[in-house]
Amino acid sequence: MKSIFKKTQKITLLLFGFVLVFAQQKMKIPNDAAFYMEINGKQLNKKISWDKFNPFLQEISKKKHKKDKENKEKPSWNDYSKTGIKYDGTQYHYGTFNDSVQAYTAYFILDNKEKFQEFINSTKKNGQEVTKKSKYSYVDIDDDIFVAWNGNRAVVSVINYTKPYKDVLADEVMVDSAVAVIDSSAVVVDTAYAAEPERPFDYKEEIQSLKGDIKYLRESIKDNNNEIVRIQKDIKYLQKHHAYPEEKKSTTDTVYSEDEAVKEDPTANDEEMEHEEYAIDPDAQKEMDSIRIEKFKVIKKLAEDSFDQYFNSNLDLEVPQQMRAFRDANADVFVYTDYGRIVNEGIYGKLMKTYNYAQFFQKIYNSNSSYNLYFDKDKVKLVNNYQHKDAEVQKNIAAIYKGKKNKKLTALINDKSLGYYSVNLNGAKSFDMVYSLFKDLGDGEYQKEMELMMETMKIVLDEEAIAKIAPGNGIFVLNELKSKKVDYTDYDYDDDYNEKEVKKTKDVVVPNFTFAFATENEGYWNRVFNLLITNKKLSKKFTKKGEFYSFKDPKDNGYLDQMFFTVKDGIVYLTTSAENIIPKDQSEVSKKWAKDAAKYPLSGRLDIQKLLIGMEKEFKSTSEKKMLDLFRKNVGEVNFKTEVKSESIETEMDYNIKDSSDNSLMYFFNLFDEAYKIMQEPEKALKTL
């Protein structure tokens, strides 16, 4: 019996040992990962039309190739559907960062090693050698981009390294977390970053620097033409009058008309500068090269260590359960972001610690969000789950999203409206959330003062009374966009530099909207509005007629003609038209919008197509009008809703498409492709001249 027990024990220990060995071989996501993404290739690859997508990628590649002056050969790769990457396999991406290193890593499955090798050869620089190791090969296709692969896996690593600076406040050098993990024998002593003593002022260097500024202006002459003209006119004026023209209160700069900018060529008087050489100082160039080389050595070692770790594992990625807690296996793309780590750690965290109330802000941002993205046939759906890491704070946030409903507000939604934004929150619970954020912040410098202040606020503030002023129900309805002409004053200069006013007119978009919110204290708001018409200064613009208070600008040159205010049946109204507060008949569609507005703590919609139609006169040039016409024909409608779900705040956003694309993924591609063609038209026109 004992022998059987011992044998069973040995077998159990042996099996357990094997389990531990294999478990240790998994590739773990680094602890400082603040971003994680999974791409569901099995679903997503079916939605991509390579017949359309491939030619577009080829065109982009050609444009990029032409701008690359060092690469004179034609791009050798022309079929991005056959890169050797298994597009219907799952892709894993994650991002890490700390005080000195920001890295983005992506893992791919290969289905054709030879094709992938050809693709890499077409991407890397000519003559760039591939480094072969025992279990994989790798190459740097740029100073900060490395690719490694074996027979069936590939890894892309993008790394940015910044040498830690001296923390003046702490009077100590920050620890270089990148170099700390690198073997000391592989790191060369960094002399390029050593601080140089301050040198005396050299006017020759200053002149060279100013010439460099002019060279920079010439490189973007199209954008800076008017600025150069203004400077030259200022120079001439100073030569003649030894002073600038007297400025008027309405302007703070010398202004020249566009006609003057065209008449005078800013390059005419300084032709000798155009051909002047701007040689870089050899010592400065040597120092820059040294810095780049040392930086590259660190990045290369980091990339190689990461590749070694992955290809020495069983090539399975171990992801913490917390990151995948809200992952939906049916989503096309899943993303997790640790917002608390992004804000509170690394260089951002160190900067935040310099503020007195750093712990409060760190607690606010101590949260994470997960996103599930779906490219459906007729819409794009994005589901976001927000969760605060402090359980008490999360509980108090969730309580805010459990407010009462108010059908009087949803009655303002109508069929013709462009969109709405509805809020049904519990305003009284917001105080509990604020208290929980200030609670247990540690032994900060002002911790005792904070605790006393919060206790005082609890005693002084009548939370219920404040909540009655605005309990938390509100709605904003955008009814339509109108256009009107307004007068405005511009300034110009004559040939003698005398400033003159020029009266002009322009079309502006005027929104017609209603903002309304519930109140249990009508008297408070009536006193506020009465104050507007009785105050000596405000009464010039605020008046009352019947039950409405109104605001009107005497100049009438703004974006709003008139605003109306009133309190009626427990609702405070602020609107551009008194008729907007009268409920309109609702169709089945608008009834559904109203039902959603009453059901969810937060909800809304926006008809982008109608919005662009209303903004038509804001687009002036031919290309802008073509772009407007393209989007006006193709853009759809956005709907969103937010509620408390699965111990998180869940927001679902839907974008409904309005064209005949195969699916919503190709819809975005087709739209971008057409926009790209419009953007290329000016370039084609120049070539035909």
**pLDDT tens for each residue of 77-86:** 778 888 999 9
Output the six-digit token pair for 124.
């890397």
62-90 in b/e form (b: 16+ CB < 10 A) is eeeeeeeeeeeeeeebeebebbbbbbebe
The pLDDT of residue 218 = 58
Residues (pLDDT < 50) of the chain are 1-2, 4-8, 10-24, 168-173, 181-196, 222, 249-268, 270-277, 685-686, 688-689
Long-range contacts at 503-506 (CB < 8 A, ≥ 24 apart): none
pLDDT at 520: 93
Residue 444 placed within a domain: no
**Integer CA distances (angstroms), 7 to 12, 13, 18, 274, in order:** 9, 10, 17, 89
Which tokens go with 131?
């480094």
How many CA atoms does the CB half-sphere of 104 hold within 13 Å?
5
CB neighbours of 125 closer than 8 A, spacing ≥ 6? Answer: 70, 71, 141
Q: Give the total number of structural domains in the chain.
A: 3
Q: 114 is in which domain, residue-wise?
A: 1-165+290-319
Residues 6+ apart with CB under 8 A from 635: 608, 609, 612, 658
Query: Does one domain contain both 565 and 585?
Result: yes
Phi-psi group of 636: left, alpha or beta (phi > 0 → left; psi -120 to 50 → alpha; rest → beta): beta
Which pLDDT belongs to residue 445? Answer: 62
Domain annotation covers residue 453:
no
Within a domain: residue 49? yes
φ/ψ of residue 263, rounded to 5 = -65, -40
User: Tell me, what's the pLDDT at 280?
Assistant: 59
What gap in Å lies between CA 603 and CA 584, rounded to an integer? 20
Give me the residue label for tokens 């099996």: 15
Measure Cα distances from 53 to 380, 673, 687 in Å: 19, 9, 26
Please indicate, yes or no, whether residues 393 and 524 belong to a single structural domain of this protein.
Answer: no
Q: Is the pTM of this model over 0.85?
A: no
Q: Does residue 462 form part of some domain?
A: no
- 505 and 636 in a single domain? The answer is no
User: What does the pLDDT read at residue 5?
Assistant: 43
Question: Distance between CA atoms of 39 and 42, rounded to whole angstroms?
Answer: 9
Boundary residue ending a domain (582, 600, 618): 600
Last residue in a domain, options 600, 620, 653: 600
Helices then strands (H, E): number in the chain? 23, 24
Token digits for 380? Answer: 């794009």
Residues 308 and 354 in one domain: no
Residue 230 included in any domain: no
Task: Give, for 635, the enclosing helix (H) or strand (E).
Answer: none
Q: What is the pLDDT of residue 281?
A: 64
CB 314, CB 251: distance < 8 Å: no
User: Coil, helix or strand for 199?
Assistant: coil
Q: Tell me whether residue 657 is in a domain.
A: yes
Q: Look at residue 55 in the predicted model and tell me its pLDDT.
A: 80
Domain match, 553 and 670 both: no
> Is there a single domain that holds both residue 569 and residue 669?
no
Residues 39, 150: one domain? yes
Gap between the terminal Cα atoms of the chain = 99
Q: Are residues 582 and 512 in the same domain?
A: yes
Whether residues 157 and 47 fall in one domain: yes
In a domain, 219, yes or no: no
Q: Are residues 650 and 673 in the same domain?
A: yes
Write down the pLDDT at residue 217.
60
Q: Are residues 510 and 375 in the same domain?
A: no
- pLDDT value, residue 508: 80
Q: Which of 545, 578, 600 is the last residue of a domain?
A: 600
Give the tens place of pLDDT for each residue, 359-399: 777 788 889 999 999 999 889 999 999 999 989 999 999 99
Question: Which pLDDT value is given to residue 380?
Answer: 94
Q: Give the Cα separation of 644 and 649 in Å (integer).
A: 5
Task: Provide the 10 A C-beta neighbour count for residue 432.
Answer: 18
At 629 the pLDDT is: 82
- Lookup: tokens for 518: 């519930």
User: What pLDDT does 261 receive?
Assistant: 41
Clarify whether residues 583 and 619 are in a common domain.
Answer: no
User: Which residue(s) pair with 373 in the sheet?
Assistant: 333, 382
**Position 71 in a domain:** yes
Q: Which two tokens stand for residue 545?
A: 């007629």
Main-chain dihedrals φ then ψ at residue 144, nearest 5 degrees: -125, 10
Q: Which two tokens stand for residue 270?
A: 């300084």
Residue type, 386: Y
